[in-house]
Every structure is written in C-alpha cells, then in structure tokens.
Amino acid sequence: MELVVQKFGGTSVQSKETREMAFNHIQKAIRSGKKVVVVVSAIGRIGDPYATDTLLELIGAGGTKLTEREQDMLVAVGELISTSVFTNMLKEAGVKAEGFSGGQAGIHTTSDYQQAKITKVDPGRILAALEHVDVAVVAGFQGIAPNGDVTTLGRGGSDTSAAALGVALKAHYVDIFTDVDGMMTADPRIVEHAHRLNQVSYEEVSNMANHGAKVIHPRAVEIAMKGNIPMRIRSTYLDGMGTLITGQEALTEKKDVGDRLVTGVAHVPNLTQFTVPANGTAIQKQAFQVLADAAISLDFINISTENIVFTVPFSKKEEVIELLKTLDLEAKAIDNCAKVAVVGAGITGVAGVTAKIVSALAEHQIPILQSADSHTTIWVLVNEADMIIAVNALHDIFCLG
C-alpha cells in the first residue's frame, strides 16, 4: 500500500471554496494510486466560529475558571468539527472516507495538557480502515493521555500530528498544505525579494522554524527527520511541488544547496531583554531555578561573573519581574526587542560570516544588543524598530534575493 499524509491548516479548511481546493490535491493523490491520510486543523482563524482562539473566547480566554484538562476538552472540538465537515465533503463527492479523532487514530501522548508530547502512534486502526476506504481523515492537534483524557499538542500541533502519523505509517511523504508556496528565504511580507527554496535539509528548516519562520512547526520537522520521512511545504491554492524537506544526503539539488552559504533569514518580534545582577554561582543557580520552576522559556542566555542576560516574550515580562523579586533581584528590562537569525548549513566553519552580519547592520546604524551562534545559525538581538531594516540588510548581503 503506497500511502501519503496530507495536512491542511485552518485557512485551507475555512470555507467551501478552500476545502474544494484541498479536495483537488486529495483526488490527485488517489488517482495516482495512493491511499491518503488527511490531517486537518480547526476551521479558520480567530473570529471564525470554530477556530481555536474563538473557542477560547467562549470561556474568557486567560480569565477562565477551567483547568487545563478542561480547556483541552473545549479546544479539541475545533478539529473534530473540521474532521466531520471534511469527511462529509469527501463522501458527498463519492470518495470512500472515514473520520477519526486523534485518539482514535492511535496518537498517544503524555498528560501535559495543552502542551502534550506524543509518546507513540499505534496506526493499526487507520491501516485497517484503509483496506476498505481511500482516505482517512484525522483530527490534528490532539491525542489521548494514558488515563483516557483528550490532550492537545500546543500551537502548530496539527503539523506534529501529520509528521508522527507519517512516520508510524511509513508514508511515502508528508505534505503540509498552507497559504504560501513553500519555505521562503525570508518573510515575504517584509522582504520584497524573498523567494521560495526548492529544497532544504531538515536541520535548516528546523532552525528557520525555531527562530521565527511560521510555515511549519519545528517539532514536526524533528519527528520527520528521526523517521527519515520526506516532507513538502505546498500551497493549497496552487499545483506546484513547493519546498522539499529531506536529509542532506537525499537532496537532488546537492550542488546548488552545497554552494549555498546562507539558506534564509528569520525573525521573532515582541521580546524583552533582561539583565540580572547575579554575582556568584549560588544566586545564578537560584535565578535560573525559579524561572525553570515557573516553566519560563529563556532565549539568548549569556552568563558572566556579574550578570545573567536573557530574553523572554514580552507577554512573560511581568511574571519574570515578580519571580526575580522573590529572590530580591532587581533586573533591568529592555522592551521592544527582536531576534534576527541567519540560518544556513553552509556557514559551519566558514570565516567571515559574523563580520558580514556586523557590517550589514553597522551600515544602517543598527546596534546589536546581544548575539549568539551555533554551527548553522547566528542570531542577533536588535531594537524592534530596526527589525525590518535588519532582516532586509542581511537578506541582501548574503545575496538571497
């Protein structure tokens, strides 16, 4: 049985017209002799009746009295509605199809409500269904905990569902359908000359996603990489093949990819930088521990003998301040910061990349508040007012246009 997984996001299932466009991709796969597992997100975005954020508004969003377990019961409904609507559409068109919740599809998770992790996928029920239907439609973003509770996987969870099912089912590939035609060298909304990448490695896409590119969730890429399942990011509205994501050894455009120093530039706005006076290892240990206990995720961490410096999303600023006050630590906070990351497998061990970054930003008098690097990524913290200019300057200096 040759099988493919196709995931359709909220904008791809939000109207009769977009669902029909999605149907065309499914029908094309069926006609080529493949069985299809379709993973769907909740219909539309905030304001649409069954979108996740709209459902949360019904209970007052952040002011709700519901526990996280009870909130998962609510938001999981969005994908179930989408699954039923999509399955009905397929059946009306004469396609043999069957719908499943995440739990019914065999997606088992931890009990970390709202941020559950997939522990295993038992594809038996899906495989049995595909013996007599051509399409299995699965509610993304959700699974089942050991005690039988419904759980959700956090933002981008439908991508993760699709990747996990693809690996468990040994799919030929996993297609992530969205409203853009693949992975771009930068956000085309702020970089006019950004263009689509035909092929990228798992590592490059994961880094782009981790540093702000919204086209796919990094956890999904990591799952596909471990299972060595190729992924494609494609447009629901076009017939193109989009961007192929696979292992470095499987790329067919190896010469072009190998000659590429930088793959793309990503960005994350709305950050706050903290500088905390923490003279001594004991104080540093206490500061990091109190933040870890509160599940505060830190980025851009620098530790010296006198200070610790890090960033958090602006939405976490007040919580961090209050936590540090419990240790009598007064922190300096700089709001309206943005992370800009230069990503590329080709930069490993290459001299002069940082010099180019500093030169490009200095030419526009953009101060660098902080910097960090890994083998394939160099990122800088800048004032958010400089973010768009910074992204464009780095896109230009590495000739990504």
Does residue 7 have a known ligand-binding role? yes
Does residue 377 have a known ligand-binding role? no
3-state SS string for 225-283 = HHHCCCEEEEECCCCCCCEEEECHHHCCCHHHHHCCCCCEEEEEEEEEEEEEECCCHHH
Torsion of CA 199, 239, 184, 399, to 10 degrees: 70
Beta bridge partners of 5: 37, 174
CA 31 to chain centre: 31
Does residue 52 have a known ligand-binding role? yes
Count H helices and E strands in the chain, helices first.
Answer: 12, 18
Does residue 317 have a known ligand-binding role? no
Helix (H) or strand (E) holding 35: strand 35-40
Distance of alpha carbon 170 from alpha carbon 228, whole angstroms:
9
Distance of alpha carbon 354 from alpha carbon 347, whole angstroms:
10
Distance of alpha carbon 175 from alpha carbon 340, whole angstroms:
28
Main-chain phi, psi angles of 221, to 5 degrees? -65, -40
Does residue 10 have a known ligand-binding role? yes
Three-class DSSP category at 178:
strand
> What strands lie across the sheet with 370-373, from one edge to the other?
299-303, 307-313, 264-277, 332-343, 377-383, 370-373
Does residue 178 have a known ligand-binding role? yes
CA 327 to chain centre: 34
- Residue type present at position 79: E
Nearest to 59 by CA among 73, 40, 48: 73
Six-digit token pair at 323?
């936590």
Helix (H) or strand (E) holding 394: helix 387-397
Distance of alpha carbon 336 from alpha carbon 178, whole angstroms:
29
Let me know: does 178 contact 233? Beta carbons within 8 Å: yes
Six-digit token pair at 215?
């086209």
Does residue 255 have a known ligand-binding role? no
- Residue type present at position 319: E
Let me know: does 126 contact 37? Beta carbons within 8 Å: yes
Question: Binding-site residues for ATP, please?
Answer: 7-10, 178-179, 189, 214-215
Question: Binding-site residues, please?
Answer: 7-10, 52, 79, 178-179, 189, 214-215
